[in-house]
Structure formats: C-alpha cells, structure tokens
C-alpha cells in the first residue's frame, strides 16, 4: 500500500471493456483527468458525469442482487414461522446463526477473486478471469466440506451453546436442508465476482429476481401443499440458490460478452491454490470480523437487566440499518470493481477519482437516510410492533442508529476500495484492533459498568467503527495510486500462468 505523495501521470490507451459504452467511458475518464491544458475545475464536471454513470450502472443491480438474497432467506423464515412458534424459532436460529456464518465466510473468501478478476480485466488479461473463478470455486468447495461437518453436528453444538434441546433439534432439521446451499455459495460468489469484474451486473439481477418468484411458489407448495415442513422450506432455499448458479453459468457460456473471459475448464485452476488460499483467507477474515462484531452487539444486549426490551429495540434498529446497508453493499461492489479495473488498466488518476466520487455519493445517500430516521424516530417502531415501551426505547436509540447509517455510508465503500486494491490482510488487522480491541470492551464498560444499557453497548461499538473508518479514510486518501498500479501489475504477473484446457 502506498502512502504520501500522489500520482505522476500514466496514460491509459485502448479499451478495457466488452461493451462500446464502457470502453469509451473508461479510457475517456483517464484522458480527461490527465489533460493538463484545462483547469482542474473544468475537468471535474465531465469526469464526475462519466464516473457517476459507471458507478450507478454497477451499484444499482448489485443492490438488487443482495436485496433479493436477503428476501429469499427472509421469506423462508416467514413460511416456516406460519407452521408454529417452534418452527419460527428454529428457522430464525438456522438463518441468523449458522447460515449467516457460512454466508459471510463464503462471501469473504469470494472477494479474493474480486481483486484478481477486476485487475486482470483492467489489464486486458481476459483469459485469466476464468482461471481465477475456477480456483476460487475449488477453494470455496473445500471450505464447504468443512462447513458441512458443522451443519451435520449443529444440534449438539446448539445444545452446548445453551439452546433448549427441542429448539436445537428443530433448528438442526432446518439446517440439514441447507447443506446443498453451501456448495451453491461456493459456485455463486466466484461467478458473481467474475461477472462484476467485467461490469456485467444486470443479468445477475434479472436471474435473481426471476428466482425469487420461483422460490416463493416452490416454498408454498413444499411447506403447505406437500407438507414437507421445516426441511422442505430449507431444501427449497437451497434449490433456489442452485437455480441462480445454473442461470448465471448458462449466461457465461452462451453470452458473447464473456467469450474472451471464459475459455472453458482448465487444469491451471488446480495450481497455485495455497497462495490463492492466503488471499481468500484474509478476505474471509476481513468480512467475518465485521459480521460477527454486530452479532456480538445483540448477544451483549441479551445479558442486560431488561433483555427483552433491549433485544426488541435493538432488533428493530438493526433491521432498519440492514435494509439501508444494502445500498452501501451495492456501492461496496461498485467501488471494488471500479478501483480494480482502473489499477489493472494503469489508470491511477481514474482510480483515485473513483474513490472520491463513490465515497461522496454513498455518504450523501446515507445522510439522507439518517435524517429520515431522525424525523420518524417516534413512530418508526410501529411498523414492527405496537408496544409504546418499545417505541420509546427505539426513539431513544435513533440518534445512534442515524450515526450508524452515516458510518455505513463510508465504511463499506472503503472496504470495497480495499478489496479492489488487494488490502484485505491489512483491513483484517485494522478490524481486529478497532472492533475487538476498542469497540466491544468500550461497549461492555458503558453498557454494564456505567449502566447505560443498550445505548451504552451500541455507543461503545460505534466508537470502534469510527476509529476503523478514520484509519481507512487516512490510508485511502494518502495512497500513492501510481504505486498501487505497479503492485497490481506485479500481482497479475505472479498469478498469470499458461493454461492447459481440461475440456475442449
């Protein structure tokens, strides 16, 4: 990672995309930013317009994809909940506990291919994208074998963690049906990152939307018409993920847009797996440390003197935060693709400019969301429950929720920049220090010792997030982007090898 002085000029010629609009926009952006004959302010307007079109073309479909993924799991939970309170508890435990752990781990490991595919595409090393996708799928499938063991032994593990045997048994039945989903994750995330690196995001959104409709119909039939219960609900969720995988794979094979980047299966995918694993592991740790951090917030709240009220108010606030967070996740994906593409194309000015634009836009949207939450603080909880006591507790937490939304407008985008640059290991260290060295201890002290309750726990953990955001801002905006271009070139040289076809 570079720091201090910024970029001597490098020119970027040629096209880097397989669509006319994208190829002209990418090269034009670097040319505009590099035109020293024009005053800087005269360059900012046209450059910003080009960057905004590229960002929203990437971010909007990405938001839809992640939102639909969330809705599929939520709908499965709703279908299960209508079977009874036990089934609702089991599905909630399986979804938010075990499934989210696997989702975060697999998505995190998949971001390694996001770095390499994005930079390879920018460097016009198109054939390597298919190799990276296959390597990532192999590694994630091996991780899936380990996760399968955890799923199989979920019942005794849940009982060991203090769950009642009755709920643990029902949750384990639900989790057994999610085992095929693990390997759908292993295929889906590399495919998704492979397409995103090429700015191909709309097809995934269309496929996900169509799958959601099919999923709702199949869930109704399996749970209510056939009577397969919890196991049927989770098996349908697994099947729906495989439908998305198959749909995206068929698109890759058949589409002209992927003709240069997908050249068939190759033995080369089995080489260099250890080095690829190290980058994947760093990526997984980076994401999982963030996911677990906010799950600990809920666990700590359950230890407070009035845990029911604390959990109710926090669950409402975290649900609202989760929906708004989908927007930030879309910008996270867009930032990763834009930065990695520009670094691979040896366009340091475009990479630096993209970071500024995506951070400012995401920040503005999050501030608007925060202001809406503050304006509705006294009534927002009634969308979830009619209790006045919970409404008062949520209203009391809304200033912290608003601050969380603002931070979520910046922090995920900076994480996306880090993925685009290949800084996952560095961010993992930052997350450990800020989240677990500062945020959780501070939250515990404020919540329990000073008796601030849920507000104290959240405030302390926000302190860790603020510290992490400041560090990432400092590092990102002091980065020597020319040096990052050279690092990207070295990384691609290291990973590029001659490919031997597996299937002709």
Q: Which residues of 1-29 are buried (b: 16+ CB within 10 A; e: fewer)?
A: ebeeebbeebebeeebbbeeebeebbbeb
pLDDT of amino acid 273:
81
Residue 410 token pair: 């910046």
Alpha-carbon distance 464 to 467, whole Å? 5
DSSP class of 5: S
Closest by CA position to 415, among listed 430, 437, 405, 436: 430
User: Residue 500 above 70 pLDDT?
Assistant: no
pLDDT of amino acid 248:
96
Are 223 and 233 contacting, i.e. CB atoms less than 8 angstroms apart?
Answer: yes
User: Residue 306 above 80 pLDDT?
Assistant: no
Residue 354 token pair: 């993209």
Q: Is the dihedral of CA 328, 444, 400, 308 positive or negative?
A: positive
What are 184-198's pLDDT values in tens digits? 999 999 999 899 889
Percentages helix, strand, coil for the chain (3-state, rounded to 5) are 80, 0, 20
pLDDT of amino acid 233:
92
Are 242 and 178 contacting, i.e. CB atoms less than 8 angstroms apart?
Answer: no
Q: How confident is the model at residue 209 (pLDDT cuts 50, 70, 90)?
A: very high
pTM for this entry: 0.79
Are 417 and 355 contacting, i.e. CB atoms less than 8 angstroms apart?
Answer: yes
Alpha-carbon distance 220 to 474, whole Å? 50
Higher pLDDT, 318 or 184: 184
Are 309 and 390 contacting, i.e. CB atoms less than 8 angstroms apart?
Answer: yes
Q: How far is CA 480 from the centre of its chain?
A: 26
User: Residue 7 above 80 pLDDT?
Assistant: no
Are 295 and 436 contacting, i.e. CB atoms less than 8 angstroms apart?
Answer: no
pLDDT of amino acid 354:
92
Average pLDDT over residues 381-385: 75
User: Residue 322 above 80 pLDDT?
Assistant: no
pLDDT of amino acid 5:
40
266 DSSP β-pair partners: 501
Q: How confident is the model at residue 183 (pLDDT cuts 50, 70, 90)?
A: very high
What are 103-128's pLDDT values in tens digits? 888 888 887 788 888 888 988 888 88
Percent of the chain residues topping a pLDDT of 70: 91
Are 139 and 271 contacting, i.e. CB atoms less than 8 angstroms apart?
Answer: no
User: Residue 222 above 60 pLDDT?
Assistant: yes
Domain ranges (residues) in the chain: 57-271, 279-496
Q: How confident is the model at residue 22 (pLDDT cuts 50, 70, 90)?
A: very low
Least confident of 33-37, 87-91, 255-259, 359-363: 87-91
Phi, psi of 107 (to 5 degrees): -65, -40
Are 109 and 101 contacting, i.e. CB atoms less than 8 angstroms apart?
Answer: no
pLDDT of amino acid 110:
81
Helix (H, G, I), strand (E, B) or coil at 260: coil
Helix (H, G, I), strand (E, B) or coil at 294: helix
Q: How confident is the model at residue 6 (pLDDT cuts 50, 70, 90)?
A: very low
Query: Given phi > 0 = left and psi -120 to 50 = alpha, else beta, which region is 497?
Result: beta
What are 59-104's pLDDT values in tens digits? 888 888 888 888 888 888 788 877 887 787 788 777 767 787 788 8
């Amino acid at each position: 990672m570079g720091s201090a002085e910024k970029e001597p000029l490098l020119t970027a010629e040629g096209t880097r995309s397989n669509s006319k609009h994208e190829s002209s926009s990418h090269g034009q952006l670097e040319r505009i930013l590099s035109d020293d004959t024009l005053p800087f302010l005269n360059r900012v307007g046209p450059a910003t317009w080009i960057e905004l079109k590229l960002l929203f073309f990437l971010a909007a479909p990405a938001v839809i994809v992640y939102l639909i993924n969330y809705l599929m799991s939520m709908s499965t939970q709703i279908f299960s909940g209508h079977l009874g309170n036990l089934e609702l508890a089991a599905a909630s435990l399986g979804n938010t506990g075990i499934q989210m752990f696997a989702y975060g781990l697999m998505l995190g490991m998949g971001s390694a291919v996001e770095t390499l595919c994005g930079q390879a595409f920018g460097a016009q090393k198109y054939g390597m994208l298919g190799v990276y996708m296959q390597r990532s799928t192999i590694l994630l499938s091996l991780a899936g074998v380990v996760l399968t063991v955890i799923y199989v032994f979920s019942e005794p593990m849940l009982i060991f963690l203090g769950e009642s045997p009755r709920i643990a048994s029902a949750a384990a039945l639900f989790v057994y049906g999610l085992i095929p989903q693990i390997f759908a994750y292993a295929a889906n995330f590399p495919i998704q990152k492979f397409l995103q690196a090429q700015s191909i995001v709309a097809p995934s959104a269309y496929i996900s939307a169509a799958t959601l409709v099919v999923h709702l119909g199949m869930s109704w039939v399996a749970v209510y018409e056939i009577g397969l219960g919890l196991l049927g609900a989770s098996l349908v969720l697994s099947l729906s993920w495989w439908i998305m995988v198959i749909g995206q794979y068929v698109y890759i094979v058949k589409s002209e847009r992927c003709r240069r980047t997908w050249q068939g299966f190759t033995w080369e995918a089995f080489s260099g797996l250890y080095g690829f694993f190290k980058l994947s592991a760093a990526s997984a740790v980076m994401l999982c440390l963030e996911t677990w951090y906010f799950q600990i917030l809920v666990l700590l709240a359950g230890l407070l003197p009035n845990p029911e009220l604390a959990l109710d108010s926090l669950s409402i606030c975290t649900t609202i935060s989760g929906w708004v967070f989908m927007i930030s996740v879309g910008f996270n994906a867009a930032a990763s693709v834009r930065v990695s593409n520009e670094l691979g194309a040896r366009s340091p000015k475009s990479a630096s400019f993209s970071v500024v634009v995506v951070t400012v836009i995401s920040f503005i949207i999050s501030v608007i969301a925060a202001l809406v939450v503050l304006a509705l603080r006294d009534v927002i909880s009634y969308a979830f429950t009619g209790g006045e006591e919970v409404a008062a507790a949520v209203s009391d937490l809304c200033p912290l929720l608003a601050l969380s939304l603002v931070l979520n407008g910046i922090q995920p985008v900076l994480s996306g920049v880090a993925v685009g640059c290949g800084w996952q290991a560095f961010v993992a260290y930052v997350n450990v220090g800020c989240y677990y060295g500062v945020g959780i201890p501070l939250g515990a002290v404020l919540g329990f010792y000073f008796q601030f309750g849920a507000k104290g726990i959240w405030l302390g953990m926000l302190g860790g997030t603020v510290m992490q955001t400041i560090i990432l801002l400092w590092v990102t905006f002091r980065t020597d982007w020319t040096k990052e271009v050279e690092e990207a070139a070295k990384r691609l040289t290291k990973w590029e090898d001659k490919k031997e076809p597996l299937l002709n």
